[in-house]
Chain A
Amino acid sequence: MTAVRDRAVATADWTAWTCRVRLAVTDPAALAGARSVVERELAAVDAACSRFRRDSGLAAVDAGAGRWTPVAPLLAEALAVALRAARLTDGDVDPTVGGALSALGYDRDLADVDPGTVPPVLAPVAGWRTVELDGDRVRIPWGTRLDLGATAKAWTADRAAAAVAARTGAGVLVSIGGDVAVAGPAPEGGWRIRVEDVTGDPDAPPPPGSATVSVVDGGLATSGTRARRWLRGGVEVHHLLDPRTGLPARPVWRTVSVAAGSCTDANTVSTAAVVRGHAALPWLRELGLPARLVTEHGDVVTCGGWPA
């Protein structure tokens, strides 16, 4: 794979989906065009998949729960990706947790979540096997609400990185809230990615407990319980739900970072690992993916060729 001098890497940073977005390209002249490509992908996926927009394709599916609803190709693809993630993780990553998230108060952008006055309530999760996707139409059980948050962000990073590389021919890194996808020729030494509890500014000094690794292809994602936390009726909750209970996953790993052939796969596995708790480590070893797990107490465990 072609490498270019690191000094040639140009970056752009902005905020979308309440996340930090970073775009890096190995050809500075391509940066403006690359950003347009990424912004178009973000806008398209938002219109299709947002839980917080009444006019999104996903909202139409929720509103039509119990009957077949036509879906545009982009949402159909997003749903297929989500169902694949559910199947690969035996349901640890499940797109039918939307109702449970709403019951916990996460029914709007995180900054606007109502802390409420009553403790979290349990909302049943229908389960991914109840989602029927048939080409350009989908049917979910009555009362079910979907959430594609576990896959859509990483999938968008994959899409955007591939689209930028195809259009510009440059090497590209797209990070959406820490879901990182790379494509095209990597810079010399690979794309250096700092792994930390909460996605931060890559240009800032590395915080204690962080680690920096390099990748040249695929994607890297970190899931954890340190971000997207809020109070509900005086109880602190987080966004990574165990679909079997409809409640936040029990605290075993505070962050799990995984590298894979795509950012979607990396994030699917890292999210499932947080949900699986103690059972995650043998599963990761079986998968053979490079991974770094940090316990609630800050102890670090690595496997699958992740640098020590």
Chain B
Amino acid sequence: MEPTDARRRGTRRVRLVTAAVAGGALVGTGALTVVVADAHPAAADTAPAGTDGTVTAPGGAGTGPTAPTGGVGAGHPGHAHGSSGSS
């Protein structure tokens, strides 16, 4: 037996353990993803309500963003009621 065999075997053992842990993490992540993907529709269906009970949520799980029913008009360039920019 080569004098370095034991050390080499030890390294190999560490590599095997590392590979096993990495594989386990991948499997775990995949399982978690499936769990979360299943859970999200129900979560997104939750309808937020104001402190007075007013429902203010955007649409549920199957609803995408909708346009304002009144559209957007051209405003006068002078006085404005509000400002919208980054903040």
Contacts and interface: CB of A to CB of B under 8 A. Distances in A.
Contacts of B32: 130, 132, 141
Interface string B55-68: 11110010011111
Chain B: interface residue count, which band? 35 or more
A279 B72 CA distance: 23
B7 interface: no
Interface stretch (A80-88, A97-105, A113-121, A241-249): A80-88
Nearest to A291: B72
A173 B82 CA distance: 8
B80 interface: yes
B5 to A, nearest CB: 38
A200 interface: yes
A104 B47 CA distance: 33
A24 B81 contact: yes
Nearest to A190: B73
A265 interface: yes
B86 interface: yes
B86 A80 contact: no
Contacts of B52: 163, 166-167
B48 A159 contact: yes
B44 A22 contact: no
Contact of B68 (A19, A202, A216): A216
Contacts of A192: 75-76, 79-82
A298 interface: no
A195 B70 contact: no
A307 interface: yes
Contact of A83 (B40, B65, B66): B40
A304 interface: yes
A180 B66 contact: no
